[in-house]
Structure 1
Amino acid sequence: MTTETQKLSMQQVLICGATIVTLSMGIRHGFGLWLQPITQAQGWTRETFAFALAVQNLSWGVFGIFAGMAADRFGAFRVIVVGALLYALGLVGMALSPTGLLFTLTAGVLIGAAQAGTTYAVIYGVIGRNISAEKRSWAMGVAAAAGSFGQFLMVPVEGFLISGLGWKEALLVLSGAVLLIAPLALGLREGGFTGGQPAKREQTIAQALREAFKYPSFQLLMAGYFVCGFQVVFIGVHMPSYLKDKGLSPQVASYALALIGLFNVFGTYIAGSLGQKMAKRKILATIYLSRAVVIAVFLAAPLSPLSVYIFASLMGLLWLSTVPPTNAVVAQIFGIQHLSMLGGFIFFSHQIGSFMGVWLGGYLYDRTGSYDIVWYIAIALGVFAALVNLPVRETPIVRGGLGKLPQGA
């Protein structure tokens, strides 16, 4: 664990961390643009592509737990570098895979593991260790906003690369670009970890996990994050094909995804800033309920490019705005000692939801010819998530003994 004299400057953490998230999340947000080019070129069903991305999200969740443990113990630098290398290999494999199985292993398992090491759980651990509690939620909002800016920046770039170079060549170009994450990780190299000897901890990993999983608020946060994953990944991956099926041009989908990214810059920043001033559980409940309302209105209204852009802008405000308050609550309740690991477990629930959202989208489309059922599920889950976040207790745990919960927690 870093000490006060070993802490990185806030500016350094935010610049390097935000840029890493911009690249990692920006590239991933555009994967839906490859659904039709790849399935048409390879003769695969949409379910084949959707299953690979579903595995990607599940892999991200599983490896995220271990990436968080490694980052908490040995520092984020090594984890991020390994993640960048895996990302590049995964993108190459995604371009060159001749079979659905190999596509699932590369686009799914490899890229999922890469995202685990280059996104929020690891970056937020560095923020938690190096930025004071008074500015932590705000800083997490800045990092999440960077991921949103990456979507706004990268999705149109990816669309341009696909149309200009072809889908396969576009993936190879991105595989080179993602390696820029490795040198950026140098800016997150914390002094207390450089020798590979972490400081003594008050809690072991087992004690921290036992404490968290016995705490009802942790379980409620996991349930809410499941819904977040279901909604955003279903929309991000399947909306381009949904709009094309309805007769809208591919450019409408590209602009819509870019608008989600643009407005999410504001949404995540606002959510992070509000988290310093008001109850985070109320912020989360409002976000989830608002998502349900926005989706319902979108489905009920006549579909046009304008309605799509309005929907994308409103969803953008709500897109990743759950991330700063959720992670800030975890830090507030349990402290920063095992923040990346606990954030990894919360995120694992998010990724189970992502798996279900993206896979169900492809599965039910292939069997019904429509995405309607999944849209309705997304609405119902939004209401559910709003309700389960309201009882979350945000006060720090008062430990009666090492790893023990107070009575009535």
Structure 2
Amino acid sequence: MFTFRFPLLVWLGIGILITSLGIRQSFGIFMMPVSDYFHTGREFFSFAIALQNLLFGAFQPFVGMAADRWGPKRIIILGSASYAAGLYLTSITVEPTMIYLSLGVLVGLGLSATSYVIVLGAVAKVVPAQHAAKAFGLTTAAGSFGMFAMIPGAQTLLSIYDWQSAMQIFAVMCSFIVVFAFFINMAKGEAHTHTVHEDLQTLKEALKEAFTHKGYWLIHIGFFVCGFHVMFIATHLPSYVLDKNLPASAAAMALAYVGIFNIFGSYFWGVMADRYSKRYVMSALYVMRTVVISAFVIFPTTEITAAVFGAAIGFCWLGTVPLTSGLVRQIFGSRYLSTLYGLVFFSHQVGSFLGAWTGGVIYDYYGSYEPIWWSAVALAFLSALIHLPINDKPVSRIRMETA
């Protein structure tokens, strides 16, 4: 059973993720208005989002190390300040290249300090090992709810105001992250409830242990593919739907369905990971992605098929997060989870960079998204295969948590 304080920590993490990731997942809605405002092609905005995701990942290991050493509260507050500054500067810039600094660098830094790695790292230290993936799935679902709530909200703001005002409203919303972070110390005492003697291991030893583990690198590759998928779809699905002469509302609702069904999917995959082998569950998830993306490309795009695709891909959207973080925790323990998972997350964000950017490059060159869709299908099938040989047994020198 969870302790009395555990729900408080989970709800704080949920509040942070709803705000941080909800805003982030709405950026695809801004592609057309921002590109039109600066009279640029789609590659311009795609590269800004791609840079954001690359730096999101590049900052993540260092932010994770800082959180492991000094705790998540300070890191989250500093991250929310960077996030808000990036959004506000984006809204007032008149020089297109400044968006690379504001929406790219500052928001990327803000996201690295207010998203899954930091929140799940805190949760891992208070949750029994046998319930870890389920708890990670529940927390991950929060980001999906944020996507469901924020994307229609962003579309509504754009229909009432201009895109600059919408960005400024989102910047103000970052203050909610600060409020949630201030209460983290109330749950701090839980950090010693379920942990045992992993403190003797140094960070250097933990890194060496992970880098010599073959399965750790296969986890990296799998999460790279996940990043490629989610950011290509989140950034370019709205434009792809509009290219099919469907209304903007259909594009917004397709992404909203991704968010709402991911709420159920994230928890479902987390529960499955606690009941069955995580590597087999992960392979099943990627097989599902292979089928779903293939069907979307093959069948005609209508409002109905866009909605069905959003729901289906949403169900397996971020189920990789509790599975991946659960695998890292199962193999290496929770002591340095923020660091080790942060490194894995960097690979995810390299994939995100390529998915967001190459989507724009290929569209501007070919006038079609079809080549990138089929690349996403091939990568999904490859990822389904590479998880099968992972040795997911706990490494022998780490004394894992007990119930």
Range class of TM-score, shorter chain:
over 0.9
**Contact 1:91–1:106 (8 Å) recurs in 2:** yes
Which secondary structure does the structure 2 equivalent of 1:173 belong to? Answer: helix
Which secondary structure does the structure 2 equivalent of 1:34 belong to? Answer: helix
The answer for the alignment partner of 2:308 in structure 1 is 310
Distance 2:126 2:182 in 1: 15
Provide TM-score, normalisation by structure 2. Answer: 0.94
Which secondary structure does the structure 1 equivalent of 2:183 belong to? Answer: helix
The answer for the alignment partner of 2:271 in structure 1 is 273
The answer for the alignment partner of 1:376 in structure 2 is 374
The answer for the alignment partner of 2:397 in structure 1 is 399
Alpha-carbon displacement from aligned partner over 1:142-169 (angstroms, at most 9, x marks no partner): 1110110110111111111111111110
Distance 2:203 2:89 in 1: 35
**Counterpart amino acid of 2:134?**
W
The answer for the alignment partner of 1:256 in structure 2 is 254
**TM-superposed deviation, 1:44:** 1.6
**TM-superposed deviation, 1:400:** 9.1
The answer for the alignment partner of 1:150 in structure 2 is 146
Which secondary structure does the structure 1 equivalent of 2:174 belong to? Answer: helix
**TM-superposed deviation, 1:210:** 1.2
The answer for the alignment partner of 1:324 in structure 2 is 322
After TM superposition, the structure 1 stretch with the greater mean CA deviation from structure 2, 180-189 or 216-225, is 180-189
Distance 1:32 1:220 in 2: 30
The answer for the alignment partner of 1:34 in structure 2 is 30
User: Are residue 85 (structure 1) and residue 78 (structure 2) matched?
Assistant: no
**TM-superposed deviation, 1:101:** 2.0
Distance 2:90 2:321 in 1: 28
1:25 to 21, 25, 46: 21
Distance 1:119 1:153 in 2: 17
Distance 2:398 2:100 in 1: 47
The answer for the alignment partner of 1:178 in structure 2 is 174
The answer for the alignment partner of 2:332 in structure 1 is 334
**Contact 2:332–2:398 (8 Å) recurs in 1:** no
Distance 2:198 2:276 in 1: 34
Distance 2:54 2:4 in 1: 32
The answer for the alignment partner of 1:196 in structure 2 is none
User: Are residue 159 (structure 1) and residue 155 (structure 2) matched?
Assistant: yes
Q: How does 1:9-408 map to 2 (within 5 A)?
A: 9-189=5-185, 190-191=188-189, 201-399=199-397
**Contact 2:6–2:190 (8 Å) recurs in 1:** no
**TM-superposed deviation, 1:99:** 2.3
Which secondary structure does the structure 2 equivalent of 1:63 belong to? Answer: helix
**TM-superposed deviation, 1:34:** 0.3
**TM-superposed deviation, 1:187:** 2.6
Alignment gaps of 5+ in structure 2: 192-196
Instruction: Quote the sequence identity (%).
Output: 38
Which secondary structure does the structure 2 equivalent of 1:394 belong to? Answer: coil
**Contact 1:9–1:130 (8 Å) recurs in 2:** no
**TM-superposed deviation, 1:204:** 2.1
**TM-superposed deviation, 1:191:** 4.9
Which secondary structure does the structure 2 equivalent of 1:396 belong to? Answer: coil
**TM-superposed deviation, 1:97:** 2.2
Distance 1:37 1:125 in 2: 37
Which secondary structure does the structure 1 equivalent of 2:256 belong to? Answer: helix
Alignment gaps of 5+ in structure 1: 1-6, 194-198, 402-409
**TM-superposed deviation, 1:366:** 0.9
Provide TM-score, normalisation by structure 1. Answer: 0.93
Distance 1:320 1:200 in 2: 29
Distance 1:157 1:327 in 2: 30
**Counterpart amino acid of 2:265?**
G
